[in-house]
Amino acid sequence: MKAKLFRLAVAAGLVAVACAAQAQTPIRIGEINSYKTQAAFLDPYRRGMELAVDEVNAAGGVAGRKIEIVTRDDSANPGDAVRMAEELVSAEKVDMIAGGFLSNVGLALADFAKQRKVVYLASEPLTDKIVWQDGNRYTFRLRPSTYMQSAMLAPDAIKLNKRRWAFVYPNYEYGQSAVATFKALLKAGQPDVEFVGDQATPLGRIDAGAVAQALGDARPDAIFNALFAADLSKFVREGSTRGLFNNASVVSLLTGEPEYLDPLRDEAPVGWLVTGYPWYAIDTPQHKAFLAAYQKKYSDYPRVGSVVGYSTIKAISAAVEKAGGADTEKLVAAFTGLEFGSPFGKVMFRPQDHQSTMGAYVGRTVVKDGKGIMVDFSYKDGAGFQPSDAEVKALRPAD
């Protein structure tokens, strides 16, 4: 009897210790990104993540546990990214993975997640395929996709009522699908449009002068642009020197993001219709709180990367809280339909394709005090810029 009691006591003690240990081990998030090759976006992204981790842990963590991120650099190489993911899962014992900037890296990680049954929150890659053609049960995506961002621009573009459109975009999947989506939506809303020129430029190596002239020679009434980063700067400078934008309206993807607008300084384009992030003028309480906390911690203003990094951690925390832990199957269930608060307001992971409804701001660019900013902007909730559920269902393989 005594021995039995003793054994019971020991067992109870072991259970208690195990529970305590469970409560103390942090939730570990493995984060993989092209930190060195895409530093302009990912430095602020890392800061956003760290801010959110601090906030979550200061508030006592989630499900009784602190959170912890382990970051890895994939050097913009899908093969290395998969190796890092293996390392994070098997050696670092992370509970889930997140990150991925380039679309090919994102897709490689998504497929890894499916194969190894690990939850993957794709924070930045824009490719539509990651939630549609190549979507899977373990992968969720935070940032608004190429489709969504192009769709956000389409209504205002149709209102411009321009007939002759020309297109310039980086020659890879992002640029191609942005243009394809935009053309389809434009044609649907305004059947008499005419497409007068396509310039697909090698990523990072645009011949801006020749491209600007070729576009001008096509005499378009409006131009759709999907260039970003250095390509954008070169194109804007050549285009304005050559008077390309005098007679044509421009509708432009991502150009209002501080990452891409700020390097242009006082030469930022004026009057372009863009998607972006006007951090200086967003008047919602959620964003004000985020902005204040970010500026206090870093004495710098946030970029889109900061918002994405911050929201990544907030989304994961919300999912862990909802799942009551980090069990993979419970996390999948928790992420599906999950609602959480981001600096842009309430965001939801759509059950039908695991895409979040995080939106973007659409507005017009002006130059003020020697800097490009967005004005007359409004927030476009991502929920409203999706193809029909039937179309999504047809695209996405069943789990």
Partner 1 sequence: MSFSGLTVQLLNGLADASALFLLAAGLSLIFGVTRIVNFAHGSLYMLGAYVAWSLTERLSSVAGFWISMLLAALAVGALGATIELVLLRRMYRAPDLSQLLATFALTLIARDAALYLWGPEDLLGPRAPGLSGSVVILGRLFPQYNLLLIAIGPVVLIALRTLLAQTRWGVLVRAATQDREMVGALGVNQSILFTTVFALGAFLAGLGGALQLPREPASAGIDIAAIGDAFVVVVVGGMGSMPGAFIAALLICEIKALCIALGDWTTPFGLTIAFPHFTLVAEFAVMAVVLVLRPWGLLGRQQETARASAASTAPFTPAGSLTKWGAAIALAAVALLPFLVGGDSYILVLSIDICVGILFAASLHFIMGPGGMHSFGHAAYFGLGAYASALALRRADIPMELALALSPLGGALGALAFGWFCVRLSGVYLSMLTLAFGQIVWSIVYQWDAITGGSNGLIGIWPSARLASKSAYFHLTLALSVAGALLLRRILFSPFGYALRATRDSPLRSGAIGIDVRRIQWAAFIIAGTVCGLAGGLFAFSKGSISPETISVGRSVDGLVMVLLGGVETLSGPIVGAASYIVLQDVISRHMQYWRAALGMFMLLLVMAFPGGIVGALRHRFTRT
CB 20 to partner 1: min, Å: 27
Q: How far apart are CA 336 and CA 200, in angstroms?
A: 37
Which one of residues 72, 143, 183, 287 is an interface residue with partner 1 (CB under 8 A)?
72
- Pattern 86-105, partner 1, x by CB under 8 A: xx--xx-----------xx-
Backbone angles phi, psi at 171, to 5 degrees: -80, 70
Positions 363 through 382 that interact with partner 1 (CB under 8 A): none
For residue 395, state whether it binds partner 1 (rule: CB under 8 A): no
Among 184, 215, 212, 182, residue whose Cα is nearest residue 198: 215
Residue 73 CB neighbour total at 10 angstroms: 16
In whole angstroms, the minimum distance from the beta carbon of 247 to partner 1 comes to 12
Question: By CB under 8 A, what part of segment 150-209 binds partner 1?
Answer: 171-173, 176, 197-202, 204-205, 207-209
Contact letters for partner 1, residues 37-56 (x by CB under 8 A): x-xx-xx-------------
Strand partners, 140: 121
CA distance 297 to 284: 20
Residue 112 interacting with partner 1 (CB under 8 A): yes
Binding mask 244-273 for partner 1 (x = CB under 8 A): ---------------x--xxxx-x------
**DSSP β-bridge partners for residue 251:** 224, 273
Residue 137's Cβ-count burial label (10 Å; 0-12, 13-18, 19+) is: middle
Q: How many residues bind partner 1 (CB under 8 A)?
A: 67
Of the listed pieces 31-39, 186-194, 290-298, 318-326, which binds partner 1 according to CB under 8 A?
A: 31-39
Among 142, 184, 134, 38, which Cα is nearest to 360's?
142
- CA-to-CA distance for 285 and 384, rounded, in angstroms? 22
Is 66 a binder of partner 1 (CB under 8 A)? no
Q: Judged by CB, which is closer to partner 1: 83, or 341?
A: 83
Q: Segment near partner 1 (CB under 8 A), from 21-29, 48-56, 72-80, 290-298?
A: 72-80
Q: State in angstroms the smallest separation of the CB of 36 from partner 1.
A: 6
Nearer to partner 1, 214 or 383 (CB): 214
- The candidate with the shortest Cα–Cα distance to 130, out of 116, 118, 144, 117, is 144
Residue 397 has a CB neighbour count (10 Å cut-off) of 10
Phi, psi of 56 (to 5 degrees): -65, -45
Residue 389 phi/psi, 5° resolution?
A: -60, -35
Q: Are 314 and 342 in contact (CB under 8 A)?
A: yes
- Of the candidate spans 71-79, 156-164, 334-342, 350-358, the one that interacts with partner 1 by CB under 8 A turns out to be 71-79
Window of 8-16, 32-40, 157-165, 369-377 that interacts with partner 1 by CB under 8 A: 32-40
Half-sphere exposure of 302 (CA within 13 A, CB side): 35
**Span 327-356, contacts to partner 1 by CB under 8 A:** none
According to CB under 8 A, which residues from 203 to 242 bind partner 1?
204-205, 207-211, 213-214, 216-218, 229-230, 233-234, 237-238, 241-242
Phi–psi pair at 244, nearest 5 degrees: -60, -35
Q: Do 339 and 311 form a contact (C-beta atoms < 8 A)?
A: no
Q: Are 97 and 89 in contact (CB under 8 A)?
A: yes
Nearest residue to 361 (alpha-carbon basis) of 148, 165, 170, 190: 148
| 118 phi/psi in degrees, rounded to 5 | -125, 145
Query: Measured from the CB atom, is 89 or 358 closer to partner 1?
Result: 89
Residue 264: CB minimum distance to partner 1, A: 6
Least distance CB 102 / partner 1 (angstroms): 9
Identity of the residue, 57 or 77, whose beta carbon is nearer to partner 1 in the bound complex: 77
* Position 115 contacts partner 1 (CB under 8 A): yes
Q: What is the Cβ-side half-sphere exposure of residue 308, based on CA atoms within 13 angstroms?
A: 32
- What residues line the site for partner 1 (CB under 8 A)? 36-37, 39-40, 42-43, 72-73, 75-79, 82-83, 86-87, 90-91, 103-104, 107-108, 110-112, 115, 127, 129, 134, 171-173, 176, 197-202, 204-205, 207-211, 213-214, 216-218, 229-230, 233-234, 237-238, 241-243, 259, 262-265, 267
